[in-house]
A and B are shown apart, each in its own frame.
Chain A
């Protein structure tokens, strides 16, 4: 067992699960989408991206690309959240839907990332 592989797999899967957990639920209902879950998903996505940096293989390049896409989507969602939220912290339904759909895009990228991870593992058979 390779500790590096464990950490790598852990963060990629965690990025996807947190992302899913945030997106899951009624899109317009703020009660289904918690701010801290978004924050955690964001941070874990950054960590996953950094872990993927510096790999020169073809698979490594696709891995990095998916992470960058996810990060871009989440950043957009974070900006929407930042500009849409009034002082008291409540969000309009429109803003919530927009944030959730952007995060759903990030989720798709994360799913691709996990899929690549699985394919890579099965191909290597070690």
Chain B
């Protein structure tokens, strides 16, 4: 029995006591008061009869005067008892209604249900702390790929929003403070099935607290923590938080990459795109003079990226703080004056990077009017303003929540993707263009599905068995054959592999697979489904490897004797 039950009982104690009292007095009175028989004698109700009478009278059922007609004294007493018992019942009902509406009682009910749901989670699940825009994007994406999760958020309204979300699988959600370890434990942090924790609240300190709690209470599972400040990020790194997500720093890196190697940036954003998007045309920020409006956490990262590539920057910011030797203009940037002062006519691009969406749009619109050739980078803070930003059609749109969500999904869904993206960042523009061309030729423009195949008994039992016990040789190219027609290629490409514990970038088709190898694929969903059959079904695998139709034991016997 949960806390809700005990709370209910404690709240209902006074009305129950009142009813017990009314019954006791009523029964006693009825049994003591003498009745009058027809011949003038007296009679008494027994206690059992009095209880029976009180029970049906107090509940307004009213069977009448049983076992025989009462006299006036008895009726007077019964009248008093009727009023007393009605008040008692009314008190009980009122208390019940008050209890149902009571916040504490409801919270206890919800918490009890949450605990039961978490206890019932029997498959791998993730714990998401913070269900703002980022948390919701991650939750939807996790649900999309069939992973379960539990939610904790301090705001009850957001938890209710989570319940309205149309998810394929139910997700336990609790309104509680994630900074408190007990909330995390209630959400299943210490369960074996808990596969990782995502600290995505909008409070850096809370994320830090979650990361720390996970390190101590369930070491060994990955923590992905959002950190908007570099100090928090450094603090998290100091105790081994696995992945620190700082959207501003990440965007700075993207931008630096986009300036240095537009092809790499294009490949990167294509591979990490949320499902349903397509390959964007190349958008390289031009070289020349840039204006950055808003010199906060975001502005600093952007300016850093520009300066690392030797680009000239003027900052427009309402604060007149000395900006590390940068040319700066005081103002918001929403009016023509400060923009012209910053040299908007001769600039190649503008970054609208304040923390207010309408200001950012206003800056971008004004700047474009002054100079229609400008390359615009606009920061979008709230998902709700998305239609406005879509209508404006900036060259690059920076959305923190999407950047974090993409990173989370890449890390959770395909652990090999992160090292591959690291390679993308290091490689040259020409290399990236070549990879894009190759991928586009085989899988089209849609954002590819990314998956990892491990040559293990769990992930690819047929392949594992064929190599280990039957001495077959399976090459990487075999995994790309269509199980329906083996001469045709599945719409997928191998991007990266761990072969004999060594990384191989763009592994060739003739690479011999060894037990324990892991291969990162990018391709269409249908290709993944087709490949899955060959990985798991020995007969399908045999056809893919040799072209021979596999048969059952009986058919083989018959075929041999015939």
Contacts of B17 on A, CB cut-off 8 Å? 47, 50-51
Contacts of A51 on B, CB cut-off 8 Å? 13, 17
**Per-residue CB proximity of A68-83 to B under 8 Å, as 1/0?**
0000000000000010
* Partner of A43 from B7, B13, B20 at Cβ < 8 Å: B20
Contacts of B13 on A, CB cut-off 8 Å? 50-51, 53-54
**Per-residue CB proximity of B7-23 to A under 8 Å, as 1/0?**
10110010011001101
Instruction: Say whether A35 faces chain B, with CB atoms less than 8 Å apart.
Output: yes
Categorize the interface residue count of chain B.
10 to 19
Q: Is the CB of A50 within 8 A of B20?
A: yes
Q: Is the CB of A82 within 8 A of B20?
A: no
CB A58 to nearest CB in B, in angstroms, measures 14
In the bound complex, CA of A30 to CA of B318 (Å): 98
Contacts of A50 on B, CB cut-off 8 Å? 13, 16-17, 20
For window 6-58 of chain A, which residues contact chain B by CB distance below 8 Å?
35-36, 39, 43, 46-47, 50-51, 53-56
**Complex: chain A residue closest to B32, CB-CB:** A36
Instruction: Say whether A85 faces chain B, with CB atoms less than 8 Å apart.
Output: yes
Q: Is the CB of A54 within 8 A of B9?
A: yes
Instruction: Say whether B24 faces chain A, with CB atoms less than 8 Å apart.
Output: yes
In the bound complex, CA of A17 to CA of B31 (Å): 23
Contacts of A43 on B, CB cut-off 8 Å? 20, 23-24
Instruction: Say whether B46 faces chain A, with CB atoms less than 8 Å apart.
Output: yes
* Partner of B27 from A39, A47, A54, A56 at Cβ < 8 Å: A39
Instruction: Say whether B48 faces chain A, with CB atoms less than 8 Å apart.
Output: yes
CB B526 to nearest CB in A, in angstroms, measures 56
Q: Is the CB of A89 within 8 A of B46?
A: yes
Q: Is the CB of A82 within 8 A of B48?
A: yes
In the bound complex, CA of A126 to CA of B47 (Å): 43
In the bound complex, CA of A54 to CA of B9 (Å): 5
In the bound complex, CA of A47 to CA of B3 (Å): 23
* Partner of B9 from A47, A53, A82 at Cβ < 8 Å: A53
In the bound complex, CA of A47 to CA of B17 (Å): 6
Q: Is the CB of A46 within 8 A of B46?
A: no
Q: Is the CB of A46 within 8 A of B28?
A: no
**Complex: chain A residue closest to B11, CB-CB:** A54
User: A53-B10, A54-B6, A89-B46 are known contacts. Are A39 and B16 too (CB-CB below 8 A)?
Assistant: no
Contacts of B48 on A, CB cut-off 8 Å? 82
User: A54-B6, A54-B13 are known contacts. Are A46 and B20 too (CB-CB below 8 A)?
Assistant: yes
Which 9 A-B pairs rank lowest in CB-CB distance, beginning with the nearest?
A: A54-B10, A54-B9, A43-B24, A53-B9, A82-B48, A50-B16, A54-B6, A46-B20, A56-B6
Q: List 30 A-B contacts (CB under 8 A).
A: A35-B47, A36-B28, A39-B24, A39-B27, A39-B28, A39-B31, A39-B47, A43-B20, A43-B23, A43-B24, A47-B17, A47-B20, A47-B21, A50-B13, A50-B16, A50-B17, A51-B17, A53-B9, A53-B10, A53-B13, A53-B16, A54-B6, A54-B7, A54-B10, A54-B13, A55-B10, A56-B3, A56-B6, A82-B48, A85-B46
Given contacts A39-B47, A46-B20, A82-B48, 19 further A-B contacts (CB under 8 A): A35-B47, A36-B28, A39-B27, A43-B20, A43-B24, A47-B17, A47-B20, A47-B21, A50-B17, A50-B20, A51-B13, A53-B13, A53-B16, A54-B6, A54-B9, A54-B10, A56-B3, A56-B6, A89-B46
A residues at B contact (CB < 8 Å): 35-36, 39, 43, 46-47, 50-51, 53-56, 82, 85, 89
